[in-house]
Structure 1
Amino acid sequence: MPDPTDPAAAEPPAPRGPRPPGTLRIGSIAGIDVLITSSWIIVAALISVGFAPRIEIEQPGLGVWKYVAGFVFAVVLYLSVLLHEASHAIVAQRLGYGVTSITLHFLGGMTEIDGASRRPRHEFWIAVVGPLTSIAVGAVALGASFLIPDGLVQVAIEALAAANLVIGVLNLVPGLPLDGGRVLKALVWGASGNQHRATLVAGWGGRLAALALLVWPLVQEPLIGVEPTLMDIVLVFILGLFLWTGATAAMAHARIRERLPALVARPLARRTLTVPEDLPLGEAVRRAQEAQAGSIVTIAPDGSPRGIVSEAAVTAMPEDRRPWVPVSAVTRAMEAGLSLPADVAGEELILAISRRPAEEYLLVEPDGQIYGVLSTADVDRAFRANAAG
């Protein structure tokens, strides 16, 4: 259930944005889009080819159908990956977070959740439920394999069990960007009270895991007596690179987020002049200059805001035309997401802007009074100054 003490828990879900390029929507779970990338087709083909010899041993003479059977196994395997990701998404929704999409790709899956976790226990449960789901699927498949007669189906279920158990256990490795890294982050965050320090610790865990993975082909033969193949080396390199870059990105984001609390909308707001919609633009600009206002908002007769005058549109309008053009001609009508609380700050501010991209936003007080207009150009300058400071 959503936590009633969290203000964001009552927020409506973010509007769906455009689908990322290179993805295909195949359905939805609990209102969440399920997407696949073009790389999924590649990995499904590789699984099909890799599983085909095992199928040939169990059921000779299938010919090209052994590759079809291998592809079916790839689909079933990724359905279990989808269960892993869906568990993340559903728990996040239950805790009051918006979930944009679930994407299946070359290395597994990804669940896009709006914003960072607000509490350590949220981070913990959203993260740990995925590996636990994979382990549960693996355990059920392993148990079922003892009840099914020898043959192709049993081989497929045994492989499904092994894959899910490996996925579940490996995802519990305590290093970002793995789920285990998020579990470690939650534990350190809960113990220290510092989310950013916890992310750095979990990020270093991910880097160490990446280095250990890259070293594995060098020690594999002495330790277990099996010489690594070229495919083993390539796979280890890809996974190690994935872990290292993911951990490094998480650490960089943590350093930026540490400075986000200093990003506050109120002091960045421009003084605002309110004018009726039918006022000539030239007169509106003259009044704004006289009042030393950096923005103009049009209002209805009852005083409610109707739109924000676009600075870019005013600049583009020739001065000799301004006396003959109503200010409404260069005004962007107020729409959902263009009005923000005057006290919005930090990550909440960045998230609000990313949900509804625009050049200007209207800042309003809790009683509905207009405080000012926030320009994304001003936010961007302040963000870069904070990140570099």
Structure 2
Amino acid sequence: MISSGGHGWRIGTLSGIPVFLGRSWILVALVMVFIFGPIVNNIMPDFRVGAYAIATLFAVLLLLSVLVHEAAHAIVAQRVGFTVSRIVADFWGGHTAHDGAGGTPGRSAAVAVVGPLANGVLALLGWWATGWFEPGVAWLLAYAFTFANAFVAIFNLLPALPLDGGFLLEALVWRVSGNRYLGTMVAGWFGRLLVVLLGIWAISPMLIDGEDVSLLRIVWVILIGAFLWQGASQAVDAGRLGVRLSRRQVGEVARPVGVIPADAALDGVDWRSRELWIVLGADGRPEGVVDPRALSSVPHQAWSGTTANALAVRLPEGWAATLDESTRLDRVLEIMRSTGSGVVGLLDDSGRPWGAVLVDDVSASGGIGPRS
């Protein structure tokens, strides 16, 4: 059953992972039809309008290739212990969203490499299929399927983020240096270099032989280059921030916190003594936080009958972790990214909160400095 959601149309589930067809994929299908249709028409002029029906079948085969690629990422990510939230096929091919918590260079490399390998297997199957068909529609589709998957497999293995090969390079640098973010930054710079090389390739006929360059070639390079440059730049920025944070310790930025049970009445707490309070559930585990500024939303005469639970901001699973003052600060950044929380609760070995780090404390714009 197909249902619509924020990530597109939900078309199924794989190992408990929702699979979405992004709305932008319709644009991809249209582009493929209008590019591949005339090619089919030139090869098989008798088909005429039917050539575009064949091109539509090719777009469907491409969608299948994308889903197999992303399914490979998702299944391996699950097997190595990552939490996978969704698979999406969209304008740029597709992506698999997973948290990466507890990652290692080996696990990251395994998740990255299986996508291109899956396309390689599909290319081999397509090549095998071309031997079974006589020249015609089926043979043409098998040949195009083979070429497309072989290209995707090879291109994706280039050592440049945001391609899968970039994650392999990241894992290699991570393994050698011990710093994941250094790997991210290096692979991001390689991504930028790839864009430059693509641009040179796009205009090389004009530079070398003085030939005209087709508009289609330029448009494709601009689209792909823009996508790669954006992803590479995000990687460089994230890597640069992570490297900087890896040189700092949690204790340098940790904010002192107050700790209260969820059923504590508002009038029984000295809210002015702390700028942030961590709320404990009935089981004694941190459930969320209260910012004292939120007290202004409750009339003072109602404080005695209102509990901290009413003002608590619930945070995602995993937002609080056992970290001491000497923990590298990039560990906090990893928790924020894997949970989506802007607050990380700091717990001692007994599970008792002793501090917190906010997203402003680790952001480039917010600065990093000690808190009193």
TM-score interval w.r.t. the shorter chain?
A: 0.7 to 0.9
| Match of residue 207 from structure 1 | 192
After superposition, the Cα gap between the structure-2 partners of 1:151 and 1:274, relative to the gap in structure 1 and judged at 3 Å, is closer
Asked if residue 24 in structure 1 is aligned to residue 9 in structure 2, the reply is yes
SS in 1 for 2:94: strand
Counterpart contact for 1:220–1:227, Cα < 8 Å: yes
Distance 2:16 2:101 in 1: 20
Asked if residue 141 in structure 1 is aligned to residue 123 in structure 2, the reply is no
| Match of residue 250 from structure 2 | 264
Asked if residue 371 in structure 1 is aligned to residue 348 in structure 2, the reply is no
| Match of residue 297 from structure 2 | 316
Quote the offset at 1:201 in angstroms: 2.5
Quote the offset at 1:152 in angstroms: 0.4
Distance 2:92 2:283 in 1: 56
Distance 2:198 2:287 in 1: 58
| Match of residue 107 from structure 1 | 92
- Mean Cα deviation higher: 160-169 or 219-228: 219-228
Counterpart contact for 1:134–1:167, Cα < 8 Å: yes
Quote the offset at 1:120 in angstroms: 1.9
SS in 1 for 2:21: strand
RMSD: 3.7
| Match of residue 360 from structure 2 | 381
Distance 2:124 2:180 in 1: 34
Distance 1:264 1:115 in 2: 21
Matches within 5 A, 1:175-254: 175-220=160-205, 227-254=212-239
Q: Which runs of 5+ in 2 are unaligned?
A: none
The count of aligned residue pairs is 361
TM-score for both structures, normalised by structure 1: 0.78
Distance 1:116 1:362 in 2: 16
Q: Which runs of 5+ in 1 are unaligned?
A: 1-18
Quote the offset at 1:278 in angstroms: 6.8
Counterpart contact for 1:27–1:34, Cα < 8 Å: yes
After superposition, the Cα gap between the structure-2 partners of 1:198 and 1:72, relative to the gap in structure 1 and judged at 3 Å, is same
Matches within 5 A, 1:1-389: 21=6, 23-57=8-42, 60-62=45-47, 64-115=49-100, 118-220=103-205, 227-261=212-246, 262=248, 264=250, 268-272=254-258, 274=260, 277=263, 279=265, 281-282=266-267, 284-285=268-269, 287=270, 292-294=273-275, 311-322=292-303, 324-327=304-307, 330-332=310-312, 337=317, 340-343=320-323, 346=329, 349-350=332-333, 352-353=335-336, 364-368=347-351, 370-372=352-354, 374=356, 379-384=358-363, 388=367
Distance 2:282 2:144 in 1: 70
SS in 1 for 2:96: strand
What amino acid maps onto 1:190 in structure 2? R
1:69-117 per-position Cα deviation (integer Å, ceiling 9, x unaligned): 3212101112112111221222222111112222222231222221377
Quote the offset at 1:166 in angstroms: 0.9
After superposition, the Cα gap between the structure-2 partners of 1:251 and 1:266, relative to the gap in structure 1 and judged at 3 Å, is closer
1:150-202 per-position Cα deviation (integer Å, ceiling 9, x unaligned): 11010010011011111111112222211122222222332333333333322
After superposition, the Cα gap between the structure-2 partners of 1:36 and 1:60, relative to the gap in structure 1 and judged at 3 Å, is same
TM-score for both structures, normalised by structure 2: 0.81
What amino acid maps onto 1:371 in structure 2? P
Counterpart contact for 1:128–1:179, Cα < 8 Å: yes
Distance 2:299 2:128 in 1: 77
Specify the structure having the higher radius of gyration (Cα): 1
What amino acid maps onto 2:195 in structure 1? A
Percent of pairs with identical residues: 31
After superposition, the Cα gap between the structure-2 partners of 1:372 and 1:208, relative to the gap in structure 1 and judged at 3 Å, is closer
1:112-170 per-position Cα deviation (integer Å, ceiling 9, x unaligned): 22137732222222222221221221122112101211110100100110111111111
